[in-house]
Amino acid sequence: MSETNTLAAAKAHTKKYVSILRSRLLGAGKVDPSWYLAVDALECSIEVHADQIRKGTGGPYIIHPVEATMYVMTLPDLIKPIETIAVTLLHDAMEDGNLRYNEFVSRFGSEVADGVEAISKVVDGVKKTPAEYKAGLARSRTASIAKPADRGNNQNTMGEAWPPEKQLSYVQEAEEEILPMIKIARRRFCQQELAYENAKLLLRTQISMVRAMHKQYAA
């Protein structure tokens, strides 16, 4: 497939899935107006990432938070499903949009703002240490779900653009940092245990597949 056709396919895929997600969220909002918070999060994410492209396909970056969110929508027993979906949609918005924490509080409320803050490595111009970042994720009932969804989507698509060494390093980081974070969060927010187990299985399966693939290529 030519580069032009690949880009066109990526744009068509993105348009389709943005439309599907928007339709589902609007439908939920008609039944329960509190779901319009997630609709607003989707529109904010689209706005923030409007000029960004996704590595590999060159398509719109918005497909990443959208696909991660569609995974989160399949997870059972979330304590705050609407807010968790909003945080997943906005997980890159604080850094990529250069938006401040108080802006998220004003627009989305403290639950979402705290989740986006927890999943962001730089907040209001201040970069967190790795230890601070991991601890913050584990303390958040929304970000501790959104982060595995983010990582799972990245690991699912990185083969399109990332060199082998970076792929192996990325899954190692997931194994050493994100899986232990999930374990801590699962104990803290035990009502979401099934969601954490699902996320853990997703990441472990991807990690095993990436390592097996590169082992085969290296043989």
Interval 67-81: pLDDT, tens: 999 999 999 999 999
Radius of gyration of the chain (CA): 17
In angstroms, the CA 215 to CA 36 distance is: 46
Q: Which CATH superfamily is domain 3-218 in?
A: Hypothetical protein af1432 (1.10.3210.10)
pTM above 0.85, yes or no: yes
Percent of the chain with pLDDT over 70: 97
In angstroms, the CA 185 to CA 198 distance is: 13
Query: What are the tens digits of pLDDT across the range 24-57?
Result: 999 999 999 999 999 999 999 999 999 999 876 6
pLDDT reading at 1 higher than 60: no
In angstroms, the CA 91 to CA 115 distance is: 8
**Two tokens at 54?**
């996704």
pLDDT-derived band at 65, boundaries 50, 70, 90: very high
Give the pLDDT of residue 159. Answer: 79
In angstroms, the CA 71 to CA 65 distance is: 10
